[in-house]
Amino acid sequence: MPNFKAKFHLSSRAWFSIFLTAFLFSAIVFTQVATLNSRDNRSKAASCTVSASFNVTNPTSIDPTWSGWDGHYYTYVFKTGLTRDQANSTYEGWQGHNTLGSGTTTITATGLAGGSVGYSGEVFLHGTTNFIKWANVSFATQACPPPPPPPPTITLSGSTFCSGGNAYVRLTWNNVSGQVNYNIFKDGNPITSGPTPWTSSPEVSGQTHSWRVQGSVDSNTVSLTTASGCATPPPPPPPVAVNPPPPPPPVNPPPPPISVNPPPPPPPPVAVKPPPPPPPGSCILVFCSPAPPPPPAPLIKKPVQPAGPKVTPPGVAASQNAGPDDVTLNFAPNPYLQGGMQITVTIEGTSLSQKIVLEASGGTFVLKTSGLTKNAIYKLKAFSKNSLIVTSTFSFTNASSANIASFVTGDFTSDNSINVTDLAKLVPGGMGSQDSLYDINYDGVVNSIDYSLLLINLGKNG
């Protein structure tokens, strides 16, 4: 009969061997994982390095000058829980070789892990042949200092809107602690400063510009396209009167029936033509026809030449050089001008006001100033009696300059806008009065050329 019992015992030993092998393998893996986790946690605890100091007294019973010893003390500091030999082999907290003199000496250990980590130490008297341990020390390190606060940030947002026929830009941002006014940049150029929220002067509709603000730090940059269709359109022209067609000619009535032996009609009266009038200036007998009055003299264009300092044209040397307190004004050409246009230049926040004569070619002008603050941002305004206001922002330095764009004329009401009100003043009143206010090309006469220029500039704002 087969021996089933022997086969059973052999299978039991095999299963026992497999179970024992699996158990030992699991224990080894668990031990390795625990060791790795312990080292990982220990490295995470050392989030900063600090220094620690302690005192060790050199005993007076030992002569540092004794020839059998070199008379120096050395200290070794390592983490609590490690031995000196372990610390030496793994470099965990190993200091060593801090020389002591006579009397009480302070030992400073550096590069220790912060955060109340425990350390132990041993002090040795170093001889020529061996070490004699003298003292044990123990202490805990200080907590790590808190991390520095994050730097401040400025988040900028913007929008555009219409008001009173003009387009505007509104910027909003968060305040940085301790800051009230912020420098405002348009297309990378500083234009003014102010608090949040900030609203611009009237902008040209339908144009895209980049904006940012600057405090203790720069904000992000936003790109905005100003609102379109803000200007009020002019009223439609009056309807043209159409003359009615003439009435049709009357239809001739049928002739009357012919009567028998009608009486002859009377002869028609002979029409006597009156003599023609005498030509103008001739006389018949004693009667003389008066001569017609002479036609009015035509209007002769006389370009306006106002008095005052003039802008130096391009390519012509300036009569004077700019000083450290002067601002050089660069005027763009104004090709529509036929004569000299007197403009006024002011600087916002000051009492400066300068009259200047500008011609079509543009050019430069040295503006004398006083009392301006170096490295400050100023806004300059330029305008004539019938133009929109041109603004320019500049930073006042030892070589300051400001660019003045071309002037847009046709503002007869001084509201910094050219609209239907100005058109109603020009026609017919301005043309009839020939007032120089309505001469927007400065050729000395108000005529259809000024009317055409006004139609081109209609709807524009300063």
Task: Render pLDDT for 23-53 as a digit per residue (tens, 0 to 9).
Answer: 666 555 444 443 434 444 444 444 788 777 7
Write down the pLDDT at residue 296: 54
Tell me, what DSSP letter sits at residue 301?
Answer: P
Question: Could you tell me the end-to-end alpha-carbon distance of the chain, in angstroms, rounded to an integer?
Answer: 121
- The three-point CA angle 355-357-359 to 5° equals 155
Question: What pLDDT is stored for residue 364 in this prediction?
Answer: 94
Q: In what order do the strands lie in the sheet with 156-163?
A: 156-163, 166-173, 198-199
Paired tokens of 295: 């036609």
The domain over range 326-404 is classified in CATH as 1.10.3470: no
Predicted confidence band of residue 373 (pLDDT cuts 50, 70, 90): very high
Q: How confident is the model at residue 398 (pLDDT cuts 50, 70, 90)?
A: confident
pLDDT in the model for residue 304 = 64
Across the range 53-57, mean pLDDT stands at 65
Residue 418 backbone dihedrals phi, psi, to 5 degrees:
-110, 115
Q: In the chain, which residues fall in CATH 2.60.40?
A: 49-140, 156-225, 326-404
Higher per-residue pLDDT: 290 or 457: 457
156-225, which class in CATH?
mainly beta
Nearest C-alpha neighbor of 278 from the set 267, 291, 268, 265:
291
**3-class DSSP state of 152:** coil
Kindly state the average pLDDT of the residues 195-216. Answer: 92
Q: How far apart are CA 110 and CA 113, in angstroms?
A: 9
- What confidence score (pLDDT) does residue 284 get? 53
Q: Which of 164, 159, 158, 160 is nearest to 462 (CA)?
A: 164
pLDDT at 114: 76
Beta-bridged to residue 127, according to DSSP, are: 69
Q: Are 307 and 411 in contact (CB under 8 A)?
A: no
- pLDDT of 253 over the 90 cut: no
Quote the CA–CA distance of 396 and 326 in Å, as a whole number. 9
- The percentage of the chain sitting over the pLDDT mark of 70, rounded to a whole number, equals 60
Range among 85-99, 265-279, 314-328, 444-458 with highest mean pLDDT value: 444-458
Share of the chain above pLDDT 90, in %: 39
Residue 149: what pLDDT? 83
Cα separation, 157 vs 172, in Å, equals 5
pLDDT band at 119 (very low <50, low <70, confident <90, very high): confident
Could you give the maximum distance between any two Cα atoms of the chain, in Å? 190
Prediction pTM value: 0.38
Q: Is it the case that residue 232 has pLDDT exceeding 70? A: no
User: Domain 49-140 maps to which CATH number in 1.20.120, 2.40.160, 2.60.40, 2.40.10?
Assistant: 2.60.40
